[in-house]
Structure 1
Amino acid sequence: MPKNVDLGFYNGDYPAWGLEKEFESFEVESRYFPSKVGGAPAWLDLQNLPLSTKLTCPHCSQQLVFLLQVYAPGSGARAFHRTIFVFICSNGSCWNKKSETVEDGSKVGLPVLVLRSQLSRENRFYPAEPPEERPGWRTDIVPQKFGTLCPVCGCRGDKSCGRCRQVSYCSQSHQKLDWKKGHKQECTENGKYGGPHTRVGFPEGLLEIEEEPEKDEKQNDIEDYKHLIDPTMEVEEAISEGVSEEEWNQVESGQTNDKASEKFNSRVRRAPQQIIRYQRSGEPLLCTFTVQLPQIPPCSKCGGQRSFEFQVMPQILCVLGLGLELQEAVDWGSIYIYTCNKDCDIEGYVEEFAAVLDFDKTNLPVMPQPEA
């Protein structure tokens, strides 16, 4: 039987969809193992953070921006705690270059980085017991105990301010931003850092996970009035209901891109505000048949196979204000995330695989409309 698909929804302020933040600020901190969007990363391994050089765009060399993280424990003891982190470049021109090739014919790297981190239940950072849901619980569980963080983005800060030595940054670009916004006035030999004076990141929210509904409202209407429908009429969704997922994919794989868009829209209509689709070792929901997903490389750590875990949907672009209407906007049909099947034992953070597919520009999907 096919596995259930879990959907992720944005819990945060987004007036266009009538959404308001419904969580406490402490719930997005590392000690609560959150699934979240935007803001600063809630690091899992608190000591072995990725180097700032790892978190740079392969096109413009600027620092990547934290997009989201999904807390998804594995099946083995060594992955009792497990989180997948996704970073992207916020420069739209880099997304237009993602399909370019270099002189040797190889592909230029995507402006996306996926990292996996995991810990056993008994570890040096967190107690074995579940966290208590109150603001004052174990506020000592922070990455700052093990190293400095960049105040602008929350990532590893290895570059100390040369004048005051009171603050460290991930990069020169973030140091300049903080300097211009206020650190310049306080940066003296005996000065005290009063920042952060600016932050780089997307609007923060929790990821609320729910199982995908079996039908959307339109499909329910068809069922309710099925006895009134002419039996000779072709109702695609009703016909496809009796076809297995494997058979449906085989039929569609030989069709035009319209079929991919039809299926994509049909599934999205069940829950139009979904921003991720999670189905580990399941099947991705393709947004096009014009371009195929690339061959998935083995795990860079253990050499084992990777499988699909989740995809990031285009609806999140609206929530984060990335602006699909702009000529050089960050844009995707879906980002597909593949991770090591074995949850191989690691220390710190290991890179996993991401693939990006775009919609056919003549057949864009129906996006959820703002509430009146």
Structure 2
Amino acid sequence: MSSVEVVLGFLEEAESWRLRSQQFPSKVGGKPAWLSQRGLPSVPGIQCEKCGLPMVFLLQVYAPISGQDRSFHRTLFMFCCRTPECYTQNDSRCVKVFRSQLPRRNEFYPFDPPPEEQPPSSSEEEPMSISGAKLCLVCGCPGNKACSRCHRATYCGKHHQTLHWKHSHKRECGSQDAVIVASTLLLFPESELITEPEEEEKDEAEDEDDVTKESVVASSVTDALAESELEEMAMHETEDTKVFQSFKKKIAAEPQQVVRYSRGGFPLWVSSQHVPSDQDIPACTCGAKRIFEFQVMPQLLNSLCVDSTGASVDWGTLAVYTCSVSCNQEEEYSSEFIWKQDFSSDQHSHTEHTEEEESV
């Protein structure tokens, strides 16, 4: 078991100014609040590896590393595909994660922490005022493709330009206010991601005594059971079932958690199947080993409004592994690694049944 502290993430409504880059937010949905204005991921870098369409921003976690100046400001950005058919069993090609970090003294932010109250000057959009980088009006990702008529609206590609044109830009093109009104058809609902430490589990010494007593009783009962009956009982207590029950027990105290953060710790798996070995986690491009940092929980799906008949945006958990030394990549956003684990078919049926009961 890991002794590394686990921090839980929960969703909370927040005023829009608190979710801007200058506040170094952790958040879900909306557009990314980019940390560094330079070296943003390329347009092809944020495309789904299955369908080729641009991904949309899912969440970001502000995770500075104490005592490491180059990571004084450090944020992890996760993107996912909105095409339900791309979410096949245990396939991670529909999700991506990037890391950005800055020293305390940098060209974008003041040396002192941001104020707790709303700054006097705020606008709806956050222009890349220093780097001059262009962002897509639809998704907030890098976008240098400009509207051929007004030359002011920019997009990450033809797909989002077409969506925006049909939704509103056809009517707005050429007006002074057109470029500040972006289509949010593809974006997830925006919320702040607040964190608090997970409480340590209570001492279960008394429970262990009870388990020992039960084991003695069980042993005497086992001797009297036929072999066929034992096999039938074992079928209902598979390793996969044990892992799933352990997962449910672990999150029971805080069922609304949507993120579990524990850099250098271990993920909480939902299944005994498709668990990565050390060899499955690729090293960073700098050569350093990647370590577990945080995971996205299935509870987040309830807040994303992605339920649909048939195929759907779905996962059991998304485990993020990052460079153990948090290396610098020449001011570039560094691509990190995600392991997507899904529920087994039996678990999925049980989860859906439970959700239906809770909604009644």
Q: What is the TM-score normalised by the length of structure 2? A: 0.82
Structure-2 change in CA distance of 1:138 and 1:48 (3 Å)? farther
Give, in whole Å, the separation in 2 of the partners of 1:185 and 1:98: 42
Give, in whole Å, the separation in 2 of the partners of 1:232 and 1:339: 44
In the other structure, the counterpart of 1:362 is 346
Code of the residue aligned with 1:343 in structure 2: it is: S
* Equivalence map 1:42-53=2 (5 Å): 42-53=33-44
Q: Partner of 2:340: helix, strand, or coil?
A: strand
In the other structure, the counterpart of 1:174 is 160
In the other structure, the counterpart of 1:309 is 293
Q: Conserved in 1, the CA contact under 8 Å of 2:89 and 2:342?
A: no
Q: Partner of 1:96: helix, strand, or coil?
A: coil
2:65 to 68, 74, 77: 74
Code of the residue aligned with 1:55 in structure 2: it is: I
In the other structure, the counterpart of 2:221 is none
Q: Partner of 2:160: helix, strand, or coil?
A: helix
Give, in whole Å, the separation in 2 of the partners of 1:82 and 1:207: 15
> CA offsets, 1:77-110, max 9 Å, x none?
10000000000001110012764xxxxxxxxx61
> CA offsets, 1:261-309, max 9 Å, x none?
1111110112111101110000111111122225110102x11111000
Q: Partner of 1:83: helix, strand, or coil?
A: strand
Give, in whole Å, the separation in 2 of the partners of 1:156 and 1:137: 27
Q: Conserved in 2, the CA contact under 8 Å of 1:298 and 1:305?
A: yes
In the other structure, the counterpart of 1:7 is 8
- Determine if the alignment matches structure 1 residue 318 to structure 2 residue 309: no
2:284 to 299, 302, 326: 299
Q: Conserved in 1, the CA contact under 8 Å of 2:138 and 2:164?
A: yes
- Determine if the alignment matches structure 1 residue 55 to structure 2 residue 55: no
**Matched-pair identity in %:** 39
1:91 to 83, 90, 114: 83
Q: Conserved in 1, the CA contact under 8 Å of 2:9 and 2:195?
A: yes
Alpha-carbon distance, 1:214 to partner: 2.9
Alpha-carbon distance, 1:212 to partner: 1.2
* Equivalence map 1:115-194=2 (5 Å): 115-136=98-119, 139=122, 142-145=126-129, 146-188=132-174, 191-194=175-178
Q: Conserved in 1, the CA contact under 8 Å of 2:90 and 2:274?
A: no
Give, in whole Å, the separation in 1 of the partners of 2:120 and 2:171: 36
> CA offsets, 1:170-208, max 9 Å, x none?
1111111111122113435xx435242411310000111
Code of the residue aligned with 1:54 in structure 2: it is: G
Q: Partner of 1:67: helix, strand, or coil?
A: strand
* Equivalence map 1:193-204=2 (5 Å): 193-195=177-179, 196-199=181-184, 200-204=186-190
Give, in whole Å, the separation in 1 of the partners of 2:121 and 2:177: 25
Alpha-carbon distance, 1:47 to partner: 3.0
Quote the RMSD (CA, aligned, Å).
2.8
Code of the residue aligned with 2:23 in structure 1: it is: Y
Give, in whole Å, the separation in 2 of the partners of 1:117 and 1:230: 48
2:31 to 28, 40, 44: 40
Q: Which of the pair has more CA radius of gyration?
A: 2
Structure-2 change in CA distance of 1:27 and 1:371 (3 Å)? farther
1:257 to 240, 244, 249: 240
Alpha-carbon distance, 1:59 to partner: 1.1
Alpha-carbon distance, 1:138 to partner: 6.8
Q: Partner of 2:336: helix, strand, or coil?
A: strand
* Equivalence map 1:172-251=2 (5 Å): 172-188=158-174, 191-195=175-179, 196-199=181-184, 200-215=186-201, 232-233=213-214
Alpha-carbon distance, 1:348 to partner: 2.9
